[in-house]
Amino acid sequence: MFLTTAHVRKKETVAQNCFTLSLHEEKIASHCTPGQFVHVRLSAGYDPFLRRPFSIAAADPAEGVFRLLIQVVGEGTRLLQRIQEGQTLDCLGPLGSGFIPGEAPYFLVAGGIGAAPLIFLAQALSKQNQPVRYYYGTASAAERVSLHAWLPTAIEQIDATEDGSKGFSGRVTAAVNRDILQGKKPGQIMACGPQAMLQELVRLNAAWKVPMQFSLEERMACGTGACQGCAVEIAEETGATNFLRVCREGPVFEAHKVVEFHANASN
Ligand SMILES: Cc1cc2nc3c(=O)[nH]c(=O)nc-3n(C[C@H](O)[C@H](O)[C@H](O)COP(=O)(O)OP(=O)(O)OC[C@H]3O[C@@H](n4cnc5c(N)ncnc54)[C@H](O)[C@@H]3O)c2cc1C
Ligand code: FES
């Protein structure tokens, strides 16, 4: 983990309320793995006081550059949207524990801005010649980031929109279910997205029985494991449960261990 000053090389608007930052900072770019994040300070003063976490969406160690994909949802991300190329950003990272290799073929399931950590993962898996299907769901086409520039061409991308304006018409989880019912069996599912999407994957997985890893998004304070503010209840193999920190032991957890999804599934 490094506390560093990253230089904004490039800033681009990529969708409605969504932009990317290409940040030059060699230590983070060369030490990060898919699923890890950076904790970003938003102002030189104390307002807002807390940093904000963002997944690393791509990294190029040779260039010393990593990329963030950011959706504007509130005060902090609105402030961040004002940053200009050539300015600097105070970043703490890389933080957290990322995705652990599983069994191919990989199905990556992204809901909305949950696309970010899965882009980095798709790029890493593609370098290892692993077969990957990348499912990307949003409410409508206007909210979508064009992933063509991010995803290697070998990766099959399946689009889904809830209003049917692009790709499969319906939820991204229904697109995954359709393909599995048609015989496309994943060895491993990796997912990041809204709580409801992850919950639906858990429900459907009662029939699929595929190992799944989820990248969770909890509100964070310290980001480094000190405050316990981001703890979630995780089941151990023995059946006992423990509170683990999303910022330290996560954000990636094996789905079958995340208690809240299983408590809700049985309701
Ligand atoms: C490990 C991790 C990785 C993340 N990666 C990305 C990413 O790559 N790109 C991206 O755009 N966002 C990402 N997020 C979410 C991002 O951190 C929040 O959107 C951001 O902190 C909101 O700050 P704000 O001040 O703009 O919004 P606030 O004013 O703080 O909140 C606005 C709205 O966003 C919700 N919100 C705030 N923080 C979170 C959070 N941590 N998780 C879920 N909902 C939240 C609030 O409940 C509220 O509805 C990630 C979060 C985590 C924990
Ligand atoms: S945010 Fe402080 S322990 Fe995770």
List the chain pLDDT tens, one digit each, 267 residues.
899 999 999 999 998 899 999 999 999 999 999 999 999 999 877 778 899 999 999 999 999 999 999 999 999 999 999 999 999 999 999 999 999 999 999 999 999 999 999 999 999 999 999 999 999 999 999 999 999 889 999 999 999 999 999 999 999 999 999 999 999 999 999 999 999 999 999 999 999 999 999 999 999 999 999 999 999 999 988 889 999 999 999 999 999 999 999 876 655
Nearest CA to ligand 1 atom 35: 73
- The atom of ligand 2 lying closest to the CA of 247 is 4
Nearest CA to ligand 1 atom 32: 74
Alpha-helical regions (H) of 95-220: 115-127, 172-181, 195-208
pLDDT at 30: 97
Other C-beta atoms closer than 10 Å to the C-beta of 244 total 21
- The atom of ligand 2 lying closest to the CA of 222 is 2
Pairing, β 231-235 against β 241-245: antiparallel
* Ligand 1 site, CB within 6 A: 37, 52-55, 69-71, 73-77, 113, 116, 217-220, 251
pLDDT at 116: 98
Q: Is 15 in the pocket of ligand 2 (CB under 6 A)?
A: no
Q: Provide the 3-class DSSP secondary structure of residue 258.
A: strand
Please answer whether residues 113 and 71 qualify as being in contact, where contact means their C-beta atoms are separated by less than 8 angstroms.
Answer: yes
Other C-beta atoms closer than 10 Å to the C-beta of 207 total 10
Kindly tell me the burial class for residue 224, based on how many C-beta atoms sit within 10 Å of its own C-beta (0-12, 13-18, 19 or more): middle
Sorted by sequence, the CB contacts under 8 Å of residue 204 that are 6+ apart come out as 173, 176, 177
Tell me which architecture the domain covering 2-95 has in CATH: Beta Barrel (2.40)
Please answer whether residues 52 and 41 qualify as being in contact, where contact means their C-beta atoms are separated by less than 8 angstroms.
Answer: no
Other C-beta atoms closer than 10 Å to the C-beta of 46 total 7
Q: Which ligand is nearest to the CA of 218?
A: 1
Vertex 78: Cα angle to 196 and 89 (nearest 5) = 105
Per domain, the residue ranges of the chain are 2-95, 106-265
Give all strands (DSSP E) within 163-262, no chain letters: 168-169, 188-192, 212-215, 231-235, 241-245, 252-254
* Topology of the domain covering 106-265: Rossmann fold (3.40.50)
pLDDT at 39: 98
The tokens for 98 are: 């990322």
Q: How far apart are CA 144 and CA 148, in angstroms?
A: 11
Kindly tell me the burial class for residue 258, based on how many C-beta atoms sit within 10 Å of its own C-beta (0-12, 13-18, 19 or more): buried
